[in-house]
């Protein structure tokens, strides 16, 4: 058996109020960002946009998306309050390590 580093297709940062719970699975780290706000660091292979949009829609939150193709950001609002912030980034290039 060989062990290799996991190379997820994407990484993201998700900020949620402490009262909202989300099941994220492997590739997830969670910490307190500030009083009442949790900060998740996520990574994955499958596209997250569909499940995240559906999760927000089930709560009746309005979505605001900045779409740059492979990189996109999402804010979710409810009754004028920011409920969620999502920042996605592509997998970082590791070429600089070899050529450092």
pLDDT band at 58 (very low <50, low <70, confident <90, very high): very high
Measure the CA–CA gap between 32 and 29, rounded to whole angstroms.
11
Check residue 27 and give its pLDDT: 58
pLDDT tens per residue across span 61-82? 999 999 887 778 899 999 999 9
Q: Is the pLDDT of residue 19 over 90?
A: no
The pTM score is 0.66
pLDDT tens per residue across span 29-39? 677 778 888 88
Report the share of the chain in percent with pLDDT over 90: 20
* Residue 7: other Cβ atoms inside 10 A: 9
Measure the CA–CA gap between 9 and 94, rounded to whole angstroms.
13
Check residue 91 and give its pLDDT: 54
């Amino acid at each position: 058996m060989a062990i290799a580093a996991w190379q997820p297709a994407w990484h993201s940062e998700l900020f949620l109020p402490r009262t909202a719970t989300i099941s994220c699975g492997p590739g997830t780290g969670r910490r307190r960002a500030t009083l009442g706000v949790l900060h998740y660091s996520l990574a994955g292979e499958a596209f997250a946009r569909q499940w995240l949009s559906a999760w927000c829609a089930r709560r009746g939150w309005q979505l605001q998306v900045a779409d740059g193709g492979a990189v996109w950001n999402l804010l979710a609002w409810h009754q004028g309050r920011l409920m969620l912030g999502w920042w996605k980034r592509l997998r970082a290039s590791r070429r600089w390590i070899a050529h450092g």
